[in-house]
């Protein structure tokens, strides 16, 4: 059975892209027929390595020019497509966070792609794509939506569309038990099957950190929700008490300039570094002695599990919803949300107590085993097999 993933941009650097690639690679490694379709393409090659059996295609190639590609596109067609590309989407709700990345050209390509499918599985990976799959995918296709953000994050206008169209999906996967309960309450008995399947770690054996470098690490998109401003404020007393320690923050985003200004105002330019994005976060995590997360909210917080897999003890705000399901006791420290003083103290404790650091790191590595790709793959295989075994009359899209 063909298993297809549909991403907004499989060529980007981001948590959703990284985890979907991990899922696709794990399924391909097990012998499944796997394809990733990217709505958009903005660079020649994907950043995250794909398994040799995973096929990748793009619906709108922003890197193409009239002189490239397998076919020659006529001037009138190029003009029409440019006109469509300059106009906002009519199908994607404006309340979608990535609405600006969709337009009438992506509308046209997406509908054509979805209607062309026959059989197999389609796994869509954000609200806009989940909604379009529910509307336009033929009943012969098993439609599974993924939610990478918690339910409360969605604006009311988007939530209204979720209530209208998600019941036509065959299943909806969420990352936490809290979200499973929230979506079950929202969609009711007429909704799709809702199941919690966490994101998998990358394949391979993670290199264990020696926990001997004076390095605290954090990572994520540089947006307000990730709370890097709070983390920098919390690290200021740490840097004063332990000037040999550094905080390195990996990621890019619109908050970069504001965070850089905060670093300079707090005179932390020799202690806190904005490292930019990297496709090799695993190698950087293996250098760290502490991982810190100060998010205001999380869909899951997969980077916590990644750090733990390297034996790096995590410190995190107990924000909604993921951290409390990843850090479960004895494998990390949970701090009351927004309490920067407590965050400072927790990081300081791990710096000053190497034995505590080692014990938490050891337990963290053990806890992270539940996110190994083969374990998560088995959950996906079970879900797909159960959905495929249902009679056609039980399929939501058979009511269309």
Same domain flag for 343 and 232: yes
pLDDT of residue 391: 82
Token pair 């088995």 is at which residue? 378
Phi/psi for 179 (5° steps) reads -70, -30
Average pLDDT of the segment spanning 255-259: 98
Q: Where are the beta strands (DSSP E) in 88-161?
A: 121-124, 142-146
pLDDT of residue 122: 98
Q: Is the pLDDT of residue 68 over 60?
A: no
Q: Is the pLDDT of residue 66 over 60?
A: no
Q: Is the pLDDT of residue 47 over 50?
A: yes
Same domain flag for 172 and 235: no
- Return left, alpha or beta for 253; rule: phi > 0 is left, psi -120 to 50 is alpha, else beta: left
Look up residue 170 and give its DSSP letter: S
Average pLDDT of the segment spanning 217-232: 96
**Is residue 65, in this structure, part of any structural domain at all?**
yes
Q: Is the pLDDT of residue 65 over 70?
A: no
- DSSP for 15-76 reads HHHHHHHHHHHHHHHTT-EEEEEEEEE-SSS-SSPPPTTEEEEEEEETT--TT-SSSPPPHH
Question: Do the Cβ atoms of 172 and 191 come closer than 8 Å?
Answer: yes
Q: Which residues, in sequence order, are bridge partners of residue 142?
A: 121
Which position has the higher pLDDT, 392 or 182?
A: 182
- Short-list 61, 63, 112, 119, CA closest to 91: 112
**Is residue 206, in this structure, part of any structural domain at all?**
no
pLDDT of residue 400: 44
Same domain flag for 256 and 139: no
Phi/psi for 101 (5° steps) reads -90, -5
Reported confidence tier of residue 399, pLDDT bands at 50, 70, 90 = very low
Same domain flag for 166 and 231: no
Report the range of poorest mean pLDDT among 68-72, 174-178, 199-203, 228-232: 68-72
Same domain flag for 244 and 144: no
Report the DSSP pairing between strands 193-196 and 215-219. unpaired
Percent of the chain with pLDDT over 70: 95
**E strand or H helix at 275:** strand 272-276
Same domain flag for 328 and 346: yes
Average pLDDT of the segment spanning 81-108: 95
Neighbours of 38 (CB within 10 A): 22
**Is residue 208, in this structure, part of any structural domain at all?**
no
Question: Do the Cβ atoms of 36 and 20 come closer than 8 Å?
Answer: yes
**Is residue 37, in this structure, part of any structural domain at all?**
yes
**Is residue 209, in this structure, part of any structural domain at all?**
no
Average pLDDT of the segment spanning 378-398: 85
Same domain flag for 390 and 309: no
**Is residue 205, in this structure, part of any structural domain at all?**
no
Q: What is the 3-state secondary structure (H, E, C) of 142-178?
A: EEEEECCCCHHHCCHHHHHHHHHHHHHCCEEEECCHH
Reported confidence tier of residue 279, pLDDT bands at 50, 70, 90 = confident
Same domain flag for 240 and 384: no
Q: Which residues, in sequence order, are bridge partners of residue 249?
A: 218, 274
Q: Is the pLDDT of residue 72 over 70?
A: no
Q: What residue numbers bound the domain in which 122 lies?
A: 2-200+374-399
pLDDT per position as a tens digit, 360-387: 999 999 999 999 999 999 999 999 999 9
Same domain flag for 104 and 125: yes
Question: Is the pTM here over 0.85, yes or no?
Answer: yes
**Token representation of residue 93:** 């709700």
Report the range of poorest mean pLDDT among 99-103, 226-230, 294-298: 294-298
Helix (H/G/I), strand (E/B), else coil: 319: coil
**Is residue 178, in this structure, part of any structural domain at all?**
yes
**Is residue 210, in this structure, part of any structural domain at all?**
no
pLDDT of residue 73: 60
Question: Do the Cβ atoms of 132 and 91 come closer than 8 Å?
Answer: yes
Q: How many domains does the chain have?
A: 2
pLDDT of residue 301: 87
Question: Do the Cβ atoms of 271 and 245 come closer than 8 Å?
Answer: yes
Q: What is the mean pLDDT of the chain?
A: 93
């Amino acid at each position: 059975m063909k298993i297809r993933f549909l991403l907004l941009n499989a060529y980007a650097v981001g948590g959703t892209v990284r985890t979907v690639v991990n899922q696709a690679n794990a399924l391909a490694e097990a012998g499944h027929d796997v394809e990733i379709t990217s709505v958009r393409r903005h660079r020649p090659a994907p950043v995250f390595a794909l398994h040799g059996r995973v096929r990748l295609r793009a619906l709108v190639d922003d890197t193409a020019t009239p002189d490239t590609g397998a076919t020659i596109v006529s001037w009138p067609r190029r003009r029409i497509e440019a006109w469509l590309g300059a106009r906002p989407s009519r199908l994607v709700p404006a309340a979608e966070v990535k609405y600006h990345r969709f337009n009438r050209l992506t509308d046209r390509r997406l509908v054509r792609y979805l209607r062309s499918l026959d059989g197999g599985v389609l796994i869509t990976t954000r609200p806009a794509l989940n909604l379009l799959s529910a509307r336009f995918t033929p009943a012969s296709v098993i439609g599974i939506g993924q939610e990478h953000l918690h339910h409360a994050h969605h604006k009311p206008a988007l939530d209204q569309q979720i209530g209208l169209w998600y019941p036509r999906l065959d299943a909806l996967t969420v990352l936490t038990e809290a979200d499973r309960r929230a979506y079950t309450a929202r969609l009711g008995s007429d909704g799709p099957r809702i199941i919690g399947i966490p994101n998998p770690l990358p394949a391979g054996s993670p290199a264990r950190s020696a926990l001997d470098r004076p390095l605290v690490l954090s990572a994520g998109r540089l947006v307000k929700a990730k709370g890097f401003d709070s983390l920098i404020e919390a690290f200021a007393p740490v840097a004063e008490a332990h000037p040999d320690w550094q905080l390195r923050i990996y990621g890019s985003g619109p908050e970069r300039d504001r965070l850089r200004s905060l670093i300079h105002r707090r005179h932390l330019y020799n202690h806190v570094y904005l490292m930019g994005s990297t496709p090799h976060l695993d190698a950087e995590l293996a250098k760290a002695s502490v991982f810190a997360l100060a998010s205001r909210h999380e869909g899951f917080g997969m980077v916590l599990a990644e750090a733990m897999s390297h034996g790096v003890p995590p410190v995190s705000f107990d924000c909604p919803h993921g951290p409390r399901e990843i850090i479960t006791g004895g494998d990390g420290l949970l701090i009351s949300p927004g309490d920067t003083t407590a965050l400072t103290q927790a990081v300081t404790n791990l710096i000053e107590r190497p034995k505590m650091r080692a014990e938490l790191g050891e337990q963290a590595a053990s806890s992270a085993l539940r996110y190994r790709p083969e374990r998560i793959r088995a959950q996906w295989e079970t879900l797909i097999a159960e959905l495929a075994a249902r009679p056609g009359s039980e399929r939501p899209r058979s009511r269309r």
